[in-house]
Amino acid sequence: MKNLLILGTGTAGTIIANMLRRRLPREEWAVVAVDRDDAHLYQPGLLRIPFEPSRQRQLTRSRRAQLAPGVDFRLGDVDVIEPASQLVRLTDGRTLQYDYLVIASGTSPRPDQTPGMIGSQWRKSIFDFYTPDGALALARALTDFTHGRLVVHVTDMPIKCPVAPLEFAFLADDWLRKNNRRDSVDLTYVTPLPGAFTKPVASQHLAHMLADRSIATEPDFLVESVDPDAKTLVSFDQRVVPFDLLVTVPLNMGADFVARSGLGDELNHVRVDPHTFVSKVAANIFAVGDAADLPTSKAGSVAHFAAHTFVDNFMSVAHGEPMTASFDGHANCFIESGNGNALLIDFNYSTEPLPGTYPLPGIGPFQLLKETRTNHLGKLAFPWLYWNVLLPGRPLPLPTSMSMAGKASVPTPVAGPQ
């Protein structure tokens, strides 16, 4: 009996566990999944909580309930991985042997890594929305925020769902307008990037959208500290951005056990081959999803596409054959832009987000790099797909690798809502 051990049952870990449990013979393979709790959080839903706090009740389900029959789910915190002995030690003293190990432990916000971020103003005038508690606290703060300087801030890249802070800025603008407060609030987007996004084509489009909404942008801002008493962000080049209400995306880091095991980079993301997810330390260790140091977005779509590529490759490994599938960094993201509209971007390691239609050429129904009602409805429908299709590992009529079908070869000017 061979043991496949999966550390983490978020998006990538759950998809992989479910797909491989169906494809690996039960008499030959044990599939064991480990996580610290039994609460699977639909993370994209956190974006809506500051504006609609009642949605919080819809975001969490049992991890165990999302796993296919035959997956052995264990509760526990990982202490360290010992690649030489093919052993995982848990903090309570238990040990788990593996023949193959998949690390899918994700990445998490670490506000403690920025001086002053957690201080006298944490959850008073300084908030995050990447955690349920933070999103709910921010909802209460927004209710009382009638005027002043609202700053949306990204500490550093990479972060989970890199478009989420942009979406928050757009939705905050929309919410303030609908509540007749926009004229009394200065809204600023502060980013360590030279533009609004990591990809230049999308960055140009998104910069126009920020400008059209009178959202100021402070680029190339690498925060050194937060001064909670003065209510300012201070950069390493000593620029200062004042705020009355700060909505920040803290530094994102992988699990501490990755560092203790000698498998990670400086942010505890596992160093892997970006096409096969094989660890650079041991050939029988893989990392998929946000836990890996892939040079693409840490997003649910990446976890989904990567998991399907990984499963195909792992079945080759299980049969003693070489891996033939290669992940191209495929990612797509709906970006809520307010007023019942959204745009969609689709890209990979080497190809920029381009205008066009997705997934069908000329038909769509989704429009790329264009604000439409249909894109917004697509994002609203996604939670059902997430729980009922993606997590179970059921097939979607979407290519795992990025397709150029339906895409324009030359970027076109940004268009307004339709």
- The CATH number given to whatever domain includes residue 205 is 3.50.50.60
**Quick one: pLDDT band at residue 411, thresholds 50, 70, 90?**
very low
Task: Return the pLDDT at 199.
Answer: 80
In a domain, 408, yes or no: yes
Residue 63: both structure tokens together: 């991890």
In a domain, 176, yes or no: yes
- Examine the domain organization and report whether 206 and 296 are in the same domain: no
Q: Convert the pLDDT of each residue in 190-206 to its tens digit.
A: 999 998 888 888 889 99
Task: Return the pLDDT at 373.
Answer: 98
Interval 209-215 mean pLDDT: 97
d(CA 207, CA 417): 15
Can you list the positions of beta strands (E) in 15-174? 29-35, 39-41, 60-62, 71-75, 78-82, 87-90, 95-97, 100-103, 107-109, 126-127, 148-154
- Examine the domain organization and report whether 245 and 259 are in the same domain: no
- Examine the domain organization and report whether 269 and 227 are in the same domain: no
**Quick one: pLDDT band at residue 418, thresholds 50, 70, 90?**
very low
In a domain, 238, yes or no: yes
Contact (Cβ atoms closer than 8 angstroms) between residue 343 and residue 313: no
- Examine the domain organization and report whether 140 and 246 are in the same domain: yes
In this prediction, what percent of the chain has a pLDDT beyond 70?
A: 98
330 three-class SS: coil
Task: Return the pLDDT at 202.
Answer: 86
Sole residue written with tokens 């526990």: 76
- Examine the domain organization and report whether 177 and 297 are in the same domain: no
Residue 8: both structure tokens together: 């983490």
Q: Which of 303, 301, 323, 328 is nearest to 312 (CA)?
A: 323
Task: Return the pLDDT at 417.
Answer: 39
Does 45 or 398 have the greater pLDDT score? 45
Task: Return the pLDDT at 46.
Answer: 96
Range of the domain at 270: 2-106+255-318
Q: How many Cβ atoms from other residues are within 10 Å of residue 169's Cβ?
A: 26
Q: Which of 383, 375, 338, 381 is nearest to 355 (CA)?
A: 375
Domain boundary among 223, 251, 279: 251
In this prediction, what percent of the chain has a pLDDT beyond 90?
A: 91
d(CA 136, CA 144): 13
In a domain, 113, yes or no: no
Half-sphere exposure (Cβ direction) of 144: Cα atoms closer than 13 Å: 8
- Examine the domain organization and report whether 100 and 45 are in the same domain: yes
In a domain, 323, yes or no: no
Q: Is the pLDDT assigned to residue 410 strictly greater than 80?
A: no
Task: Return the pLDDT at 56.
Answer: 77
β-sheet bridge partners, residue 225: 234
**Quick one: pLDDT band at residue 413, thresholds 50, 70, 90?**
very low
Lowest pLDDT segment from 2-6, 28-32, 90-94, 393-397: 393-397
Contact (Cβ atoms closer than 8 angstroms) between residue 15 and residue 33: no
Q: Is the pLDDT assigned to residue 403 strictly greater than 70?
A: yes
Residue 371: both structure tokens together: 């604000």
- Examine the domain organization and report whether 147 and 135 are in the same domain: yes
- Examine the domain organization and report whether 135 and 86 are in the same domain: no
Contact (Cβ atoms closer than 8 angstroms) between residue 371 and residue 342: yes
Q: Is the pLDDT assigned to residue 416 strictly greater than 80?
A: no
- Examine the domain organization and report whether 15 and 31 are in the same domain: yes
**Quick one: pLDDT band at residue 38, thresholds 50, 70, 90?**
very high
Q: Which of 235, 344, 260, 270 is nearest to 102 (CA)?
A: 270
d(CA 43, CA 170): 18
Q: Convert the pLDDT of each residue in 239-263 to its tens digit.
A: 999 999 999 999 999 999 999 999 9
- Examine the domain organization and report whether 131 and 236 are in the same domain: yes
246 three-class SS: strand
Task: Return the pLDDT at 398.
Answer: 83
Contact (Cβ atoms closer than 8 angstroms) between residue 414 and residue 208: yes
Residue 126: both structure tokens together: 């300084």
Q: Is the pLDDT assigned to residue 41 strictly greater than 80?
A: yes
Residue 147: both structure tokens together: 């005027």
In a domain, 285, yes or no: yes
**Quick one: pLDDT band at residue 79, thresholds 50, 70, 90?**
very high
Cβ contacts of residue 415 below 8 Å, gap of 6+?
Answer: 370, 371
Q: Is the pLDDT assigned to residue 357 strictly greater than 90?
A: yes
Q: Is the pLDDT assigned to residue 164 strictly greater than 90?
A: yes
Residue 182: both structure tokens together: 């926009």
Q: Phi, psi (5° rounding) for residue 161?
A: 45, 80
Task: Return the pLDDT at 31.
Answer: 98
In a domain, 111, yes or no: no
Q: How many Cβ atoms from other residues are within 10 Å of residue 159's Cβ?
A: 22
Q: Is the pLDDT assigned to residue 68 strictly greater than 60?
A: yes
Domain boundary among 227, 251, 275: 251
Q: Convert the pLDDT of each residue in 138-147 to its tens digit.
A: 999 999 999 9
Counts of helices then strands in the chain (DSSP H, E): 8, 24
- Examine the domain organization and report whether 172 and 93 are in the same domain: no
Interval 392-405 mean pLDDT: 90
Domain boundary among 318, 350, 372: 318
Q: pTM to 2 decimals? A: 0.94
Number of domains in the chain: 3
- Examine the domain organization and report whether 168 and 239 are in the same domain: yes
In a domain, 116, yes or no: no
Cβ contacts of residue 167 below 8 Å, gap of 6+?
Answer: 47, 335, 336, 337
